[in-house]
């Protein structure tokens, strides 16, 4: 639901597809540069999340001494991934333990998560009140949009960074 201008007494209609098909995107944004990494899992679960982290590590080019801090909400798949990677210390996730540190946000605080700002901007600029005849048109449009943020950019950097009071 949103507000919009319309002639008094009219009932604007937005086409929508009758299908329940959906497109899943998972990603990370660097608040300092605005660079965006997006992955397309088939479904959201702990395995797809761990796979997304592995794909992210392959392309981000982290040096031996660097550690990446990933801010997460309290989705069940994030919690299970943390348990498998850090608490149970499963050997196949050693590379994630060495390079990634998870930081969980307090419940119900999506405004503090930089990637949520990106998703909000995407809905506002790309998908809000838009009709996509099928899932592939939606995917193509989103892929094109996200490609704009693969490199450092001021748009996401300014949107996702916060001035914290000391």
Q: Tell me: the pLDDT tens digits for 70-95?
A: 999 999 999 999 999 999 999 999 99
pLDDT in tens, 11-26: 777 666 667 778 899 9
The 8-class DSSP code of residue 26 comes to E
Helix/strand/coil percentages in the chain, nearest 5: 45, 10, 45
HSE-up (13 A, CA, CB side) for residue 82: 15
Alpha carbon distance 69, 1 (integer Å) = 34
pLDDT for 130: 85
Give the predicted TM-score (pTM) of the model.
0.80
Residue 25 CB contacts under 8 Å (≥ 6 apart), including other chains: 38, 39, 40, 142, 146
What does the pLDDT average to over 60-66? Answer: 81
Instruction: Tell me: pLDDT of 3 over 70.
Output: no
Pairing of strands 68-72, 100-104: parallel
Angle at 29 between CA 106 and CA 51, to 5 degrees: 85
Domains within the chain, CATH numbers bracketed: 26-128+138-146 (3.30.420)
Nearest to 97 by CA among 68, 72, 55, 76: 68
């Amino acid at each position: 639901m949103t507000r919009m201008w319309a002639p008094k007494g009219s009932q604007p209609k937005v086409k929508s597809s009758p299908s329940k098909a959906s497109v899943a995107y998972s990603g990370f944004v660097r608040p300092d540069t605005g660079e965006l990494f997006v992955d397309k899992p088939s479904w959201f679960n702990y395995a797809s999340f761990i796979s997304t982290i592995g794909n992210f590590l392959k392309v981000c080019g982290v040096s031996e001494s660097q550690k990446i801090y990933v801010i997460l909400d309290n989705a069940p798949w994030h919690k299970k991934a943390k348990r498998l990677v850090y608490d149970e210390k499963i050997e196949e996730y050693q590379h994630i333990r060495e390079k990634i540190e998870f930081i969980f946000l307090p419940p119900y605080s999506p405004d503090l998560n930089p990637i949520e700002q990106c998703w909000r901007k995407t809905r506002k600029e790309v998908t809000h009140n838009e009709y996509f005849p099928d899932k592939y048109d939606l995917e193509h449009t989103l892929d094109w949009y996200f490609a704009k943020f693969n490199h450092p950019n001021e748009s996401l950097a300014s949107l996702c960074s916060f001035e914290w009071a000391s």
